[in-house]
Amino acid sequence: MKTTKWYVYLSFLLMIIFFMYHFKSPNKIRSTKFKDDISKEFNSIVINKYIDKENHGYNTCLFKNKDNTIKFIFGFDRSGLFEYIEIGDSIIKPSGDSLVIVKRNEIVKEFMLDYGIE
C-alpha cells in the first residue's frame, strides 16, 4: 500500500482556500447589486422588456430618456415591478432611493426595489 504524498494534501488545502476566497456569498452579491441600482437615476420610457437568456435568464428592461438608452437588469428584484411594467410606461427613479414610480395613462403606481437583503 502506497502512502499519500504531502503535496496531495497541500493541493487540496490550497483548493479549499482558493474557493473560499474567490467566491462571494449570494447575500454579498445581492447587496452590491442593490447599492449599485439604488445609485441609478432615470426618468424614462420603457422601450423593451425581455428575459435575457444569454445573461442567466435575468429579467431585463430597456429605458429611453432624452440622451441615451438605459439597460436595467431585475435579476434580484422581488417587488413585482418587472411583471407590472409594459412597453410605453413612464418610469421614474430618483438617485439614492429604492422608490420606482410607474406611470401608465392616468395610473400611477409605486414600487420599492426589494432584493431580499436582510
Domain regions of the chain by residue span: 27-112
Using alpha carbons, select from 56, 37, 54 the residue that is nearest to residue 100.
Answer: 37
pLDDT at 8 over 90: no
What is the CATH architecture of 27-112? Beta Barrel (2.40)
Query: In this structure, are residues 14 and 8 in contact, taking their beta carbons and an 8 Å threshold?
Result: no
Helix (H, G, I), strand (E, B) or coil at 6: helix
Q: What percent of the chain has pLDDT over 70?
A: 90
Instruction: Give me the pLDDT at residue 96, please.
Output: 92
Q: Give the tens place of pLDDT for each residue, 90-102.
A: 999 999 999 999 9
Average pLDDT over residues 9-35: 78
Assess whether pLDDT exceeds 70 at residue 116. Answer: yes
Q: What is the pLDDT of residue 27?
A: 74
